[in-house]
Amino acid sequence: KGEAADAAGFTVVMKFGGSSVSSAARMREMADLILSFPEERPVVVLSAMGKTTNNLLLAGEKAVSCGAPKASEINELAVIKELHLRTIDELGLDSSIVSGFLDELEQLLKGVAMMKELTLRTRDYLVSFGECMSTRIFAAYLNKLGKKARQYDAFDLGFITTDDFTNADILEATYPAVAKRLHGDWIDDPAIPVVTGFLGKGWKSCAVTTLGRGGSDLTATTIGKALGLREIQVWKDVDGVLTCDPNIYANAVPVPYLTFDEAAELAYFGAQVLHPQSMRPAREGGIPVRVKNSYNRHAPGTVITKTRDMRKVCYVTVSVYSDSSM
């Protein structure tokens, strides 16, 4: 698997969560961050901008009971439109990048309002607009900077999942499909892949599925395993994994090493570190996951591997804090 990755030149996955791409300013910083590691050939994975996922879910809930004529007036719809159009404007991009999505989103909310129901399947489709838009904006911006990028919707890239809407599992067929497509496209026309986190395609329904809240981490580790990369980087806006919530205790310090089991356990107990399922592909592929701070880009962050040196015992409290916006 390593040889194939070398042929296409990919070295790492760089995953950026919602708070890292929440505005034009943050997107500029992330583009600068990527370009400041010229030795890397990254595959970029993005979440939806800021609180967009929450806003899409809220808009959907409101649409169920508001009645079709009022669907266009849902406040969260206005917030989502304003955020994406303003970001595009501030980055000097063309609004046509997202206008089709914004129109369709409004239509979809009207449909939900008319039907007076929101199935799990429709909810996943609705929420997918967040990642579909953030990745298109960011890829267009990289291209504008002269750094060739190519946007991918995970559901077209080969992410095949169960049909468990809102909490789908990734199926094995995903790994070879994703590797084949990313390698093939790179060989035809090299460009940084910018992939939607969180999304997949149900194997029977062929409909858009989601991997559960915070699922972009799982997207990142799945790509890491598929390509046999050196490292999976999860970029946050704090120093890696901290010993406790810095809002509670100011002297929280970064934990340098964790094992996959420890990280999974922390996630299971509700620490906002990483998606609970996301350690599995990394463990299976033997690929280290590094949690890094975008405000302190050269700090080593927290490295998560199979084993760590237990002589340097470090006690990690369960209340680990990591990211302000999911």
Contact positions vs ligand ASP (CB under 6 A): 17-18, 47-48, 53, 130, 197-198, 213-216, 326
Minimal distance in Å, beta carbon 146 to ligand ASP? 28
Q: What span, in angstroms and rounded, lies between the C-alpha atoms of 72 and 114? A: 12
Q: What span, in angstroms and rounded, lies between the C-alpha atoms of 47 and 179? A: 21
Query: Which one of Mg ion, ligand ASP, none interacts with residue 202, CB within 5 to 8 A by kind?
Result: none
Query: Which one of Mg ion, ligand ASP, none interacts with residue 197, CB within 5 to 8 A by kind?
Result: ligand ASP
* Range in contact with Mg ion (rule: CB under 5 A) among 37-45, 53-61, 102-110, 297-305: 53-61
Minimal distance in Å, beta carbon 129 to Mg ion? 13
Going by DSSP bridges, is the β-strand pair 208-210/199-202 parallel, antiparallel, or unpaired? antiparallel
Q: Does 134 bind Mg ion (CB under 5 A)?
A: no
Cα–Cα–Cα angle for 72, 107, 66, nearest 5°?
A: 45
Contact between 237 and 22 under an 8 Å Cβ cutoff? The reply is no
Give 55 or 293: the residue with its C-beta nearer to ligand ASP. Answer: 55
From the list 19, 20, 22, 53, which residue makes contact with Mg ion (rule: CB under 5 A)?
A: 53
Q: What span, in angstroms and rounded, lies between the C-alpha atoms of 292 and 40? A: 15
Distance from the first to the final alpha carbon of the chain: 32
Q: What span, in angstroms and rounded, lies between the C-alpha atoms of 187 and 201? A: 25
Minimal distance in Å, beta carbon 15 to Mg ion? 11
Q: What span, in angstroms and rounded, lies between the C-alpha atoms of 299 and 294? A: 9
Query: Which one of ligand ASP, Mg ion, none interacts with residue 224, CB within 5 to 8 A by kind?
Result: none
Minimal distance in Å, beta carbon 214 to ligand ASP? 4
Q: Does 47 bind Mg ion (CB under 5 A)?
A: yes
Give 47 or 233: the residue with its C-beta nearer to Mg ion. Answer: 47
Give 47 or 151: the residue with its C-beta nearer to Mg ion. Answer: 47
Query: Which one of ligand ASP, Mg ion, none interacts with residue 285, CB within 5 to 8 A by kind?
Result: none
Residue that has been written with the tokens 């991997």 in this structure: 211
Query: Which one of ligand ASP, Mg ion, none interacts with residue 198, CB within 5 to 8 A by kind?
Result: ligand ASP
Give 18 or 42: the residue with its C-beta nearer to Mg ion. Answer: 18
Q: Does 18 bind Mg ion (CB under 5 A)?
A: yes
Give 53 or 294: the residue with its C-beta nearer to Mg ion. Answer: 53
Contact between 273 and 320 under an 8 Å Cβ cutoff? The reply is yes
Give 193 or 215: the residue with its C-beta nearer to ligand ASP. Answer: 215
| Residues numbered 271-300 forming contacts with Mg ion, rule: CB under 5 A | none
Q: What span, in angstroms and rounded, lies between the C-alpha atoms of 177 and 129? A: 23
Give 145 or 326: the residue with its C-beta nearer to Mg ion. Answer: 326
Give 175 or 198: the residue with its C-beta nearer to ligand ASP. Answer: 198
Q: What span, in angstroms and rounded, lies between the C-alpha atoms of 32 and 148? A: 14
Minimal distance in Å, beta carbon 198 to ligand ASP? 4
- Alpha-helix residue ranges (DSSP H) falling in the chain: 2-8, 24-35, 52-66, 75-90, 96-115, 120-144, 154-157, 174-188, 216-227, 260-268, 279-285
Contact between 61 and 119 under an 8 Å Cβ cutoff? The reply is no
Tokens of 207: 């409909």
- Enumerate binding residues for Mg ion (CB under 5 A): 18, 47, 53, 326
